[in-house]
């Protein structure tokens, strides 16, 4: 068992038929990157970096290869491909692909892989306890409950099965269509991360700090196609378990990582061996993108540098891991968003938006580069991934710099909705995006709306962090500034209304010629200007917004930015994307 001061890493492997080969390929890329960065002569083994390895279905078979058999990823790639080819071969395939038939093929494939190896046949490692590379598989019982078959000793009494029997048992958990979840949607027969984290609290030192929790998937569906039927007649989101984990780890960055080839589940069948080349092709393409290379480098840094967010093993099963921040401690939160520094003065000079150039070539070129990078992240990691949301934040700040204020608000609102749906309302990352929405509202002169939202933010921080916390205090200071500006705005509106009413009382429907005679042409023109200014002041605070220039984004219906965000769809489609129904 790892000591208190040791940093532990955890690996979870999804089931997914032949598509689970992509998980082995992803882990191979990580190990090769470790080899490259550390100048190693040989490719390292996953069992030397991960203290606990768990899997289900074909991911369980991969867990046996990496953990119990302690293979390199090179060996596992060959071994897994041979096993998958045996299990999912279409040659001489029975009409009814029964569980018994599949289990026979699993055992046959495992025996081929283990031939000439000197690892023993029992699932429990005969070489004794090891500090790293503990492995287990998750198997489904007939009543839908899950059990764990371990390659190490455990307090519970359990049969010491052979490796073949363990592989057969987990293979029986390979879900059929509409059978991914049982009645309880906390049991996911494809993604075993909950079981893996629960097992970690049972077999690892509870006070040990956690470095990396790596969850590998066998391909996602398109974002509009992520609901599937279950035995109980309901529909559940295929990425629900991952979304739950992202909420759980939202406040502890660089701890939970999920790698899952985007859209592959729509393109590649899981139970056909002839799809193996397609799995390789899709995974290689995905691994070659700059977004994924960046994520892999972050994973490698955590694995090799022994970095940790400070989370201990005993916290892994909490619904939300949120270490209490100390007074004055910084975090990824609205403290990094200078909302309080935004110009909240309602007495802004009058701007002529038509003097601004909505097609400034420098701005459009820089925006194109940012959106291209966002598109790559969104297509490979998903539009609600932390990396995609970070890109949206950069796009938001760039828009503010170039005074595309209306577009910046649309980007901030969309990023907030996605973060809220993924991480929940109490996550600091969600509050950070909420702060961006408030900042855009302030710069647009929407003082009353910004004040109401800031009140909500202060209430949230008071509840989650406490009234004395530095983040809460800063939010309160911003609220006080907005309250003062709100009062000034109300006074300005009252003054404007007074001028308008006096002017209308003076006119009383009289013709212009009579009015000019009464106060002279110069006096009449000045009263007219005062009245128009009062109307403008009463209607809104005047700000410089390129989006409202002639031929600008507003005139074009914001089609360009909405199209890039993918929010031109109906509300039903938005809900399928996991977004809230109505931001307002």
Predicted pLDDT of residue 173? 60
Predicted pLDDT of residue 44? 95
List CB contacts of 313: < 8 A, sequence separation 6 or more: 8, 200, 201, 204, 205, 206, 207, 208, 209, 210
List CB contacts of 94: < 8 A, sequence separation 6 or more: 101
Nearest one of 156, 117, 111 to 136, comparing CA atoms: 156
Predicted pLDDT of residue 40? 93
Give the least confident one: 26-35, 176-185, 451-460: 176-185
Best mean pLDDT range from 86-90, 179-183, 193-197, 236-240: 193-197
SS3 121: coil
Q: Tens digit of pLDDT for each residue in 357-387?
A: 667 888 888 888 888 888 888 888 888 888 8
Predicted pLDDT of residue 27? 97
Q: Hunting for tokens 């768990």 — which residue is that?
A: 54
Q: Work out the average pLDDT over 413-432.
A: 86
Predicted pLDDT of residue 95? 39
Q: How many helices (H) and strands (E) does the chain have?
A: 19, 8
Predicted pLDDT of residue 199? 94
Give the least confident one: 215-219, 445-449, 543-547: 543-547
Predicted pLDDT of residue 31? 96
- Computed on alpha carbons and rounded to an integer, the radius of gyration of the chain in Å comes to 30
Strands 235-237 and 227-229: antiparallel
Please give the structure tokens belonging to residue 135: 């492995």
- Count other Cβ atoms within 10 Å, centred on residue 170: 30
Predicted pLDDT of residue 35? 94
Please give the structure tokens belonging to residue 201: 């609290």
SS3 407: helix
Q: Tens digit of pLDDT for each residue in 215-230?
A: 999 888 765 555 565 5
Report pTM: 0.65
Please give the structure tokens belonging to residue 385: 């991934």
CA dist., res. 158 & res. 155, Å (int)? 9
Predicted pLDDT of residue 25? 95
Best mean pLDDT range from 22-36, 124-138, 526-540, 562-576: 22-36
Would you give the distance in Å from CA 402 to the centre of its chain? Answer: 28
CA dist., res. 411 & res. 393, Å (int)? 8
Backbone dihedral angles phi then psi of residue 211, each to the nearest 5 degrees: -95, -70
DSSP letters along 414-425, please?
HHHHHHHHHH-T
């Amino acid at each position: 068992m790892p000591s208190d001061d040791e940093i532990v890493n955890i690996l979870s492997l999804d089931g997914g038929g032949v598509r689970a080969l992509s998980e082995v390929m992803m882990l191979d890329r990580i190990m090769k990157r470790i080899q490259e960065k550390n100048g190693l002569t040989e490719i390292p083994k996953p069992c030397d970096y991960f203290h606990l390895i768990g899997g289900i279905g074909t991911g369980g078979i991969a867990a046996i290869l990496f953990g119990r058999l302690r293979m390199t990823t090179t060996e596992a790639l060959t071994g897994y491909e041979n096993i998958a080819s045996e299990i999912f071969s279409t040659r001489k395939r029975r009409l009814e692909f029964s569980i018994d038939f599949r289990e026979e093929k699993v055992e046959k494939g495992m025996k081929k892989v283990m031939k000439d190896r000197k690892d023993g046949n029992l699932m429990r490692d005969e070489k004794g306890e090891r500090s790293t590379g503990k492995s287990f598989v998750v198997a489904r019982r007939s009543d839908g409950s899950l059990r764990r078959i371990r390659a190490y000793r455990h307090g519970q009494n359990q049969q010491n099965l052979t490796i073949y029997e363990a592989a057969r048992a987990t293979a029986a958990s390979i879900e059929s269509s509409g059978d991914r979840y049982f009645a309880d949607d906390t049991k996911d027969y494809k993604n075993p991360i909950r079981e893996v984290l629960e097992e970690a609290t049972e077999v690892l030192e509870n006070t040990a700090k956690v470095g990396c929790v790596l969850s590998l998937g066998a391909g996602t569906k398109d974002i509009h196609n992520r609901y599937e039927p279950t035995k109980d007649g309901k529909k559940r989101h295929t990425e629900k378990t991952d979304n739950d984990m992202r909420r759980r780890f939202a406040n502890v960055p660089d701890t939970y990582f999920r790698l899952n080839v985007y859209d592959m589940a729509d393109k590649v069948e899981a139970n056909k061996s002839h799809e193996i080349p397609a799995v390789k092709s899709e995974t290689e393409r995905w691994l070659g993108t700059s977004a994924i290379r960046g994520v892999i480098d972050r994973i490698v840094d955590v694995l090799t540098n022994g970095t940790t967010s400070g989370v201990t093993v005993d916290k892994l099963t909490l619904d939300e891991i949120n270490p209490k921040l100390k007074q004055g401690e910084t975090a990824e939160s609205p403290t990094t968003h200078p909302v309080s520094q935004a110009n909240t003065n309602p007495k802004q000079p009058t701007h002529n938006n038509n003097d601004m150039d909505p097609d400034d070539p420098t701005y459009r070129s820089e925006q194109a580069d940012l959106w291209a990078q966002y598109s790559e992240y969104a297509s490979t990691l998903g539009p609600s991934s932390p990396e995609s949301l970070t890109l949206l934040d950069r796009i938001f700040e760039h828009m503010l710099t170039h005074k595309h204020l209306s577009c910046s608000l649309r980007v901030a609102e969309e990023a907030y909705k996605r973060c809220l749906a993924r991480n929940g309302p109490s996550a600091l990352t969600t509050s950070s995006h909420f702060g961006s929405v408030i900042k855009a509202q302030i710069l647009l002169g929407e003082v009353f709306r910004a004040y109401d939202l800031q009140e909500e933010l202060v209430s949230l921080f008071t509840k989650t962090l406490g009234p004395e916390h530095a983040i809460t205090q800063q939010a309160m200071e911003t609220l006080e500034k907005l309250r003062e500006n709100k009062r000034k705005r109300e006074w300005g509106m009252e003054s404007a209304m007074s001028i308008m009413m006096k002017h209308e009382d003076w006119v009383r429907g009289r013709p212009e010629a009579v009015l000019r005679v009464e106060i002279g042409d110069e006096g009449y023109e000045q009263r007219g200007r005062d009245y128009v200014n009062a109307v403008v002041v009463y209607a809104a605070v005047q700000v410089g917004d390129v989006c409202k220039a002639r031929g600008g984004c507003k005139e074009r219906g914001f089609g360009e930015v909405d199209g890039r965000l993918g929010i031109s769809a109906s509300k039903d489609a938005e809900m399928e994307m996991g977004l809230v129904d109505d931001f307002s």
